[in-house]
Chain A
């Protein structure tokens, strides 16, 4: 289970109110797409779910427990850039989390323990379609492959919640369609809730079970400082998508088709 419950959350930077009174219940295994104009605080909201920032007021609960004040392995993340480590190979990047978890002092594994993790990592690399690139460094990969790597690196930790901050924003449309197919497959297979910030409406409606819009209800220049953004639209995709359940519908006519549900 991995349900998120956000209750009356406010975020202020000094006098500037960024988010006001945001409340939303996110069911376990949902795929929530956050959309909205630039600077409306959706990335700030995501960083609060991540634990990188703390809310000024209100509560964020994961499975009924308050979120820890810093990022941890229960919440995975993929950013638009800098999500992978340039000094590690593809294999090293994917094994990294497991190595850190198992070896608290050296942060490295050797022998049989390493081989076990390596096997798991290779399976994960295959699952995101990066076979054959195990020994390459991120600088030798294309943008799309780097994001696949970032997904594999996050997912091997089996996070309860996967947070995506415009992960596919910098990719060209063809590559983006391919990675959407992969993203759906991963969401169907891994027991996790996904929250994704995006600027691309089509991406939001292609991938999400629910599209949530952040906006500033009061946006006159003199109001900007004292009134923040909040949730103005909350659209549940119909026909409903459910993780792990194939769907007979194809809601996105031009989009990629995956074997399991749309």
Chain B
């Protein structure tokens, strides 16, 4: 049988999926054990006990100075910024994407502008944001929003333009006005794409968040990583990175579940 036609059974598939994770863990454990054997105070590749200590210290023991649990304070701060940034981006992208996708005049006015804006590297704007908006929350949220909005607008506008013309004409023969076509034909059909688009933008959004937090913040997951870097605290940095990854993966899965639950038809249309 050709390789392209042989498929793994369910058990094999699970084993294969876990294999790379296990390999990475084993490689780390070997490296860590070797370094610790040479120097028990090695900071670069701490062992499991080192991680357990650090996680316990960050997540379950109040910090001596402020009395707060750092991991949770950092997580809350980061998620608030991320949520606010993505919410603003989603709202703007939905509105502009819909308008550009439906109205030829709006497309003529906005499409080249959005195309140009989306090419501006958002991190290059960070100093401007800090200067104009100060070092507080606003500039961080603005960076996330500016970073992901233009791409989301373009994606949604493309999706709206891609809708078959026949469908729009059919709606017109059913007496739909422009407003009704926007509200009941185009909007419901780009909402599933909006969720998918949001999932794809989670990565860039975290990137912008951590970049902003690294430069100026007093809490946040990115802030903590860059703070403890000064003390080579790999025992804190590694768990934080894994925690961020877990948060991102969970959001990704939840968003896809949400799409299937709210728009069951979008799953049926797949592969058509």
Contact = CB atoms under 8 A, between A and B. Distances in A.
A97 B169 CA distance: 12
A85 B166 contact: no
A50 B173 contact: yes
Given A96-B174, A137-B264, A139-B269, 14 more contacts: A72-B173, A73-B174, A82-B166, A83-B167, A96-B171, A97-B174, A100-B171, A101-B174, A101-B175, A108-B184, A139-B265, A157-B173, A157-B174, A159-B173
Interface of A is mostly: loop
Contact of B180 (A72, A104, A153): A104
Nearest to B180: A107
Nearest 7 interchain pairs by C-beta: A97-B174, A139-B268, A71-B172, A82-B164, A82-B166, A73-B175, A107-B184
A258 interface: no
Residue in B167, B176, B189, B268 whose Cβ sees the most chain A Cβ within 10 Å: B176
A236 interface: no
Interface string B149-181: 000000000000000111101111111110110
Interface residues of A, number: 34
A71 B180 contact: no
B7 interface: no
Interface string A84-106: 11110000000011001100111
A147 B214 CA distance: 58
B180 A100 contact: yes
A150 B180 CA distance: 19
Nearest to B271: A139
Chain B, interface size category, equals 20 to 34
Contacts of A96: 171, 174, 184
B189 A86 contact: yes
B270 to A, nearest CB: 9
B175 A97 contact: yes
Contact of B265 (A76, A82, A87, A101): A87
A87 B188 contact: yes
A79 interface: yes
B265 A137 contact: yes
Contacts of A108: 184
24 contacts: A50-B169, A70-B172, A71-B169, A71-B172, A72-B173, A72-B175, A73-B173, A76-B173, A77-B169, A77-B173, A81-B164, A82-B167, A83-B166, A84-B170, A86-B265, A86-B268, A86-B269, A100-B180, A100-B184, A107-B176, A137-B265, A139-B265, A157-B174, A157-B175
